[in-house]
Amino acid sequence: MEKVEKSDISRWKPIIEDWKHTLYLWRRTKLAMVGTFIVVGFLLMALFAPVLSPYNPIQIDLTRRLQPPSKAHWFGTDQFGRDILSRVLHGARIEVWIIFLVSFISGTIGLSIGITAGYFGGVVDEILMRITDIFLAFPRLILAMALSAMLGRGLTNAIIAISLVEWTVVARLARAEAMRVKSMPFIEAARAVGAKDLRILLLHVLPMCLSPVLVQLTLRMGTIILTAAGLGFLGLGAQPPTPEWGAIVSDGRSYLMQAWWISTFPGLFIALVVLGFNLLGDGIRDILDPRLRR
């Protein structure tokens, strides 16, 4: 029994040491720590929005319209008397869903196309990459606006439009990783024992491509928020009375001189969260760098 227990401990020891080293590197990366605190705070704000919100975010009360920040309304009220703080807190939940769904959809599409093109090469690679180049030829925000306008206004269509724009970056990265991995000896060994291409793609190539793709998706989360806010600002994303941050900023643009707080506070949260995701993505990239880990 003692030998079995010792062997089990020795088996887990490298994994534990690797996690300890990762935490050590994380603590040394100050900007990554700042990004982590911002992102964690953003997620907690979204999770506990119903508890933290002092008022109903969509309830109209014209007797309280355009009130400046005060003890009763920390962020003031909008033109319909709705509490800005409550709308910002509930808007965080919508932003989390946008980030999660767009990252999942675009990551799945990009990974599938990228590893397929990189592994098979030849005609398959040419066709898939030329399709990718067509999407990359347009500015992302303009393409997202065009797709959203074509699909119709609404949060669901905005998520689909952003996903159809964001997959291209993942596809190019996954293709490069797949081309590097397919020439490795263990892939040749898998082919030698008769493994099919689909099995090699799913069990060997895909896991090796996940790490850089996850880092890239983390770096793109800030861009996803900006694109969603841009669509909401233009009226192509979430529709009233949904408290999406970009839509709130758009609501206050006609009242900037007399009620600056309507647009200012959600705009500050957009900037802060985008900064947090960028710092977090940079930290993850640095920590996963083999040269730094040594």
Residue 236, token pair as written in the block: 């192509």
HSE-CB of 245 using CA atoms within 13 angstroms: 29
CA distances from 230 to 6, 149, 223, 226, 274 (A): 57, 13, 10, 6, 13
Per-residue pLDDT band at 4 (split at 50, 70, 90): very low
> What average pLDDT does the segment 52-65 reach?
90
Is the pLDDT assigned to residue 139 strictly greater than 90? no
Is the pLDDT assigned to residue 8 strictly greater than 60? no
With vertex at residue 267, the alpha carbon angle to CA 259 and CA 159, rounded to the nearest 5 degrees, is: 125
> What average pLDDT does the segment 29-46 reach?
88
Question: 3-state class of 83 per DSSP?
Answer: strand
Reported as a single tens digit per residue, the pLDDT across 231-272 is 999 888 888 888 999 999 998 888 888 889 999 999 999 999
C-alpha of 165 from chain center = 13
pTM of the full structure: 0.84
- Of the candidates 16, 79, 100, 109, which has an alpha carbon nearest to the alpha carbon of residue 240? 79
User: CA 255 to CA 249: how far, in whole Å?
Assistant: 10
Residue-by-residue DSSP string for 96-148: HHHHHHHHHHHHHHHHHHHHHHHHH-HHHHHHHHHHHHHHHTS-HHHHHHHHH
All domains in the chain, ordered by first residue: 21-293 (1.10.3720.10)
- Of the candidates 197, 140, 136, 223, which has an alpha carbon nearest to the alpha carbon of residue 172? 136
Residue 33, token pair as written in the block: 């720590």
> What average pLDDT does the segment 61-66 reach?
89
- pLDDT reported for residue 16: 64
C-alpha of 216 from chain center = 9
- Mean pLDDT, the chain, whole residue set: 85
Residue bearing tokens 């029994």: 1
Residue 184, token pair as written in the block: 């490795």
Reported as a single tens digit per residue, the pLDDT across 177-226 is 888 888 888 787 877 887 787 888 888 888 888 878 888 888 888 889 99
Q: What percent of the chain has pLDDT over 90?
A: 42
> What average pLDDT does the segment 75-88 reach?
92
- pLDDT reported for residue 13: 59
Number of Cβ within 10 Å of residue 94's Cβ equals 22
Is the pLDDT assigned to residue 43 strictly greater than 80? yes
- Of the candidates 37, 179, 30, which has an alpha carbon nearest to the alpha carbon of residue 114? 179
Cis amide linkage into residue 243, ω under 30° from 0? no
Reported as a single tens digit per residue, the pLDDT across 90-106 is 999 999 999 999 999 99
Contact in structure between 140 and 149 (CB atoms under 8 Å): no
